Amino acid sequence: MQAVGVVVEYNPFHNGHFYHIEQSKKSTGADVVIAVMSGHFLQRGEPALVDKWHRTKMALQNGVDIVIELPYIFSTAKAELFAKGAIQLLSAMKCQSFAFGSEEGNIEPFHNTYTLLQDYRQEYNELIKYFVSKGLSYPKSLYEAYEQLKQKQHRLYIDLSQPNNILGYHYIEAVYNLKSTIKPVTIQRVKAGYHESINSNTNIASATGIRKEIFEKGSVQDIKNYVPQATFVHLQDWLKQHNQFVQWESFWPLLRFSITRYLPSDLTQFADVSEGIEFALIKYAKISDSFSEFMNHIKSKRYTWTRLQRMLTHIFTGITKEQLHQIDSPTYIRLLGMSEKGQRYLGEIKKDLDLPLISRVASVKDEVLKIDLRATEIYAQGVQLFSKKKIDEDFQTPPIRSIALT
């Protein structure tokens, strides 16, 4: 059986994701779709809208055959490490190909961009330093340096101002650096941009737009046309059980406590906390009544919203720099769920897997897994701020078997 891999968050799974799955199978001729999915905390430093078990069910009932977890170390990392961890896991699962969505929609410019940045690496780094010295933010400096380098060759290159193109580039970079045989394929994103609000003239919206609508309305009724039935049912189920969806605002009392309980010198043990930001974190956490108020106090050119959220994620979960940097490659494959076809595929490849496959965590001793378990525990504590019902914890939950909606 042939397998195509996808790297996902499904926050939540929507019609654009369904299109991506269908096109990934069509473009590669794969029999099986394997999704490596972030757990409870995501790449832009946010807690997931609903827990990973609900999101796994959404995936399995919409064309995905196997869902494995991208460990916390990678799922909350910058794009380079996020991509590296995901590609290593998909390679370990013996995927012949992987497919990612992009604004570009054509794979050749990604390869061209990788070659350009490798051939002119020293000049690229010097340009970055130059633009930073002029007061530009680091992400903006990266972009300006790249735009200047593009003049070196007259070839097709990707637009690195687009979020999915940026992440796609790092997937390609990971494939080259790891010398992986996995074949990359890109699928053109359709209709809705990454940050766009929902549009009543189409049935495809970005996950960001869908979440915005959910939080503004406090219900899922208005997003019904933008998600498959399974997603709608599982979102309704979550709302019935827990009264509201997860966002940083929901966790603010606990996050605020997590910050103010420390001395400034103690906060520096967490990733990305440097250059005196620890004093601002404590100062404004004490006087802010909401997460948005807090963020507006501390956001700056140097500290982007995403960088701050990642920093706060590590403070919230209690994960230190030392823990995060102890390893830079996955040490296991954590199985979250599978369809019948996915189970057959696992039966075929199980003896050839490059990493141990974990279906139950109770008997496993692994430092990376301990961090994942910790993240789930803290997420669960946050949910209990507004819900009387506990979420399912890692020790209690076996892999989900795909079942039909009733």
Is 8 annotated to bind a ligand? Reply is yes
Q: Which long-range contacts (CB under 8 A, 24 or more apart) does 197-203 make?
A: 198/222, 198/223, 198/226, 203/15
Is 374 annotated to bind a ligand? Reply is no
Between CA 381 and CA 400 the distance in angstroms is: 23
Residue 198 has pLDDT above 80, yes or no: no
Is 340 annotated to bind a ligand? Reply is no
Is 155 annotated to bind a ligand? Reply is no
| Model pLDDT for residues 88-118, shown as the tens digit of each residue | 999 999 999 999 999 999 999 999 999 999 9
Instruction: Give the residue among 73, 91, 90 at the shortest CA–CA distance from 82.
Output: 73
pLDDT tier at 406 (50, 70, 90 boundaries)?
very low
Contact, 39 vs 335, CB < 8 A? Answer: no
Section 59-67 average pLDDT: 97
Is 18 annotated to bind a ligand? Reply is yes
Length of the chain: 406
Cα dist from 287 to 264, 284, 295, 311, 358, whole Å: 16, 5, 12, 19, 44
Instruction: Give the residue among 283, 278, 270 at the shortest CA–CA distance from 303.
Output: 278
Task: Please report the pLDDT score of residue 197 as a whole number.
Answer: 57
Contact, 58 vs 12, CB < 8 A? Answer: yes
Is 199 annotated to bind a ligand? Reply is no
Residue 201 has pLDDT above 70, yes or no: no
Is 168 annotated to bind a ligand? Reply is no
What backbone phi and psi angles, to 5 degrees, belong to 101?
-80, 145
Tokens in use for 49?
């809208």
Is 14 annotated to bind a ligand? Reply is yes
| Model pLDDT for residues 113-170, shown as the tens digit of each residue | 999 999 999 999 999 999 999 888 888 899 999 999 998 888 899 999 999 999 999 9
Its pTM surpasses 0.75: yes
Is 13 annotated to bind a ligand? Reply is yes
